[in-house]
């Protein structure tokens, strides 16, 4: 069976492998980039599946003709390959990728994918489709023509044959000029691309587009998301069962308010060390002891997420990994428990100097968005929020909501996290939720005092709460804060706000490249 369908998150690895096979000499798409395609504009990503195998992929996003019909590069127009420049108010569909397994080209997969694009363009009532097309035959003919423009004209006159250009012309696309430096890694095309345009025959050029949130249909049920943050009090415990009662109390409270998410603080499970109260443990041994609770903790929290129908950001917990080369390596891991019954992990990338020295905590290697029933989210554990590259990497992948579980001992430490989290909200035009510990825990190394003020932060613009704070708590008091967040406000701010940080990025000057 052969079908063209909308791409799913489960297809990402197969799509990456397909792209590697199709373009072996070019830098491959990363999994993060492909997550960005699907999260930014799920309706615009298509795969062709034949007998259970992904044999074709087509990526698109919406763009303004004022951008796409003028000189640009692939990096600029695609947001570095993440499709993060998707503009719901645009009037053209932009084709950023088509790749087809050469073993299956006899099935006319390319034509099927182009037709899927055209149907989407007409359904969304866009003026047309634009893309920068490869000219792989130009490299062989470069010395026999004066310019890439002349080469394309000779192809149109059938004096030269270029399989890619010929195919695109047969699909009804019009050659509008050459884009120099479009894709420098495309050696066959010498970095050039053709500016190709297909006009939607159902729309008169310049016709104002009637918007009905076509590009955000997948989020219609989740325009309003209710989030809760628990400012958790550290206290001595007499058993793991007592810990479970305290945690379930807060989950029960926020679930009664029909919250979609609840987040707990970083390392809030450290209070479990007070059960045995072994004063002779070194800090590193204390962390090692906590890792024994990992599986019971995960089992309990997942059961809560399902039973109370709420997504739980499980703060963080010291964890040993099974694949660690060093049996003494411990990681600071945030477990995210979804109400559908799934568990995701986000490792802390940057342990603080004290975490590394006293607790032997190692840093992780990847930050990835987590798919939830309310859209993709991201997690930055405490110190990670102070590195803007990580937040931007999550936003590039499609996150609009970031959670920051933190653990700070005094006001200066807290304010570093708070100010940086607010900066992430402003520069990425996203929501950020902070959750911290309060109270005292005598006898537990490096956790004896806490300072915290949990909060829910927004961008600073007219669509949002005053001071960029949707909700906050009284400092150093055990409590809960909640707020309703509307993703539509983010979409408006990103495309029509007083400032448009994401839209105004200079992709021609800088980018974030994740090495692993």
* Model confidence at 8: pLDDT above 60: yes
pLDDT in tens, 302-361: 999 999 999 999 999 999 886 555 566 899 999 999 999 999 999 999 999 999 988 889
Q: Domain residues of the chain, as ranges?
A: 2-199, 224-496
Read off the tokens for 286. 């204390």
Report the pLDDT value the prediction gives residue 482, as an integer from 0 to 100. 98
> Longest C-alpha distance within the chain, in Å?
85
Is pLDDT at 92 greater than 50 in this prediction?
yes
Task: State how far the alpha carbon of 85 is from the alpha carbons of 73, 110, 449, in Å.
Answer: 13, 25, 44
End-to-end CA distance of the chain: 36
Percent of the chain with pLDDT over 70: 95
**Which residues, other chains included, contact 388 with Cβ-Cβ below 8 Å and sequence gap of 6+?**
420, 423, 424, 427
- pLDDT tens across 135-154, in order? 999 999 999 999 999 999 99
Those residues whose C-beta lies under 8 Å from the C-beta of residue 267, and which sit 6 or more positions away, are: 315, 316, 317, 318, 332, 407, 437, 447
> Quick one: average pLDDT of 220-240?
86
- What are the tens digits of pLDDT across the range 253-264? 999 999 999 999
Which of the four pLDDT bands, split at 50, 70 and 90, describes residue 213? very low
CA distances from 9 to 2, 35, 37, 199, 299 (A): 20, 7, 10, 31, 25
What are the tens digits of pLDDT across the range 18-45? 999 999 988 889 999 999 999 999 999 9
**Pairing between β-strand 361-362 and β-strand 431-439 as defined by DSSP bridges:** unpaired
Please say whether the beta carbons of 58 and 113 come within 8 A.
yes
Angular region, 193: left φ>0, alpha ψ -120 to 50, beta rest: beta
List pLDDT tens digits, range 480-508.
999 999 999 999 999 889 999 999 999 98
pLDDT over 60 (residue 216): no
The conformational region for residue 380 under phi > 0 = left, psi -120 to 50 = alpha, else beta, is: beta
Tokens 């804060």, located at residue: 481
Q: Which residues of 376-414 are buried (b: 16+ CB within 10 A; e: fewer)?
A: bbbbbbbbbbbbeebbbbbbbbbbbbbbbbbbbbeeebb
pLDDT digits (tens, 9 = 90+) for 172-199: 999 999 999 999 989 999 999 999 999 9
Residue recorded with tokens 């992929």: 57
Residue 447 clears pLDDT 90, i.e. is over it: no
Q: What is the per-residue pLDDT for 219?
A: 43
The domain over range 2-199 is classified in CATH as 3.40.630.30: yes
Which residues are paired to 95 by β-bridges? Answer: 60
CB half-sphere exposure, 215, CA atoms < 13 A: 28
Cα-Cα-Cα-Cα torsion 47, 51, 52, 56, nearest 10 degrees, comes to -20
CATH architecture of 224-496: 4-Layer Sandwich (3.60)
Residues identified as active-site: 266, 348, 382
């Amino acid at each position: 069976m052969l079908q063209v369908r909308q791409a799913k998150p489960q297809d990402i690895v197969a799509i990456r492998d397909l792209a590697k096979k199709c373009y072996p000499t070019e830098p491959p798409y990363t999994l993060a980039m492909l997550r960005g395609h699907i999260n930014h504009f799920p309706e615009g990503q298509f795969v062709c599946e034949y007998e259970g195998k992904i044999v074709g992929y087509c990526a698109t996003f919406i763009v303004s003709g004022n951008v796409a019909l003028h000189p640009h590069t692939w990096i600029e127009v695609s947001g570095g390959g993440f499709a993060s420049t998707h503009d719901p108010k645009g009037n053209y569909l932009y084709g950023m990728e088509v790749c087809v397994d050469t073993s299956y080209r006899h099935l006319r997969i390319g034509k099927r994918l182009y037709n899927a694009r055209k149907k989407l363009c007409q359904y969304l009532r866009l003026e047309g489709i634009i893309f920068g097309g490869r000219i792989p035959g130009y490299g062989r003919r470069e010395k026999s023509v004066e310019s890439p423009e002349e080469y394309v004209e000779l192809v149109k006159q059938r004096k030269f044959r270029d399989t890619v250009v010929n195919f695109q012309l047969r699909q009804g696309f019009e050659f509008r000029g050459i884009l120099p430096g479009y894709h420098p890694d495309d050696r066959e095309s010498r970095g050039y691309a053709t500016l190709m345009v297909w006009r939607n025959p159902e729309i008169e050029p310049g016709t104002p587009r009637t918007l009905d949130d076509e590009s955000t249909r997948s989020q219609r049920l989740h325009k309003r998301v209710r989030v809760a943050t628990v400012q958790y009090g550290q206290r001595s415990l007499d058993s793991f069962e007592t810990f479970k009662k305290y945690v379930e109390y807060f989950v029960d409270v926020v679930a009664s308010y029909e919250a979609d998410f609840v987040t707990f603080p970083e390392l809030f499970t450290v209070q479990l060390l007070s059960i045995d109260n072994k004063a002779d443990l070194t800090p590193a041994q204390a962390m090692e002891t906590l890792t024994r609770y990992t599986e019971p903790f995960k089992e309990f929290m997942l059961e809560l997420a399902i039973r109370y129908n709420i997504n739980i950001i499980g703060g963080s917990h010291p964890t040993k990994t099974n694949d660690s080369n060093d049996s003494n390596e411990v990681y600071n891991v945030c477990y995210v428990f979804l109400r559908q019954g799934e568990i995701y992990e986000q490792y802390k990338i940057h342990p603080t100097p004290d975490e590394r020295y006293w607790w032997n905590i190692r840093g992780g290697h990847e930050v990835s968005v987590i798919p939830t029933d309310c859209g993709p989210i991201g997690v930055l554990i405490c110190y990670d929020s102070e590195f803007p590259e990580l937040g931007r990497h999550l936003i590039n992948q499609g996150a609009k909501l970031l959670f920051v579980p933190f653990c700070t001992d005094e006001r200066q430490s807290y304010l570093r996290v708070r100010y940086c989290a607010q900066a992430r909200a402003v520069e990425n035009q996203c929501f950020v939720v902070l959750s911290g510990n309060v109270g005292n825990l005598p006898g537990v190394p490096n956790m004896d005092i806490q300072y915290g003020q949990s909060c829910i932060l927004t961008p600073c613009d007219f669509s949002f709460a005053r001071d960029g704070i949707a909700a906050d708590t009284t400092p150093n008091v055990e409590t809960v804060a909640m707020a309703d967040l509307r993703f539509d406000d983010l979409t408006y701010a990103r495309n029509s706000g007083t400032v448009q940080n994401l839209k105004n990025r200079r992709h021609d000057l800088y980018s974030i490249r994740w090495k692993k």
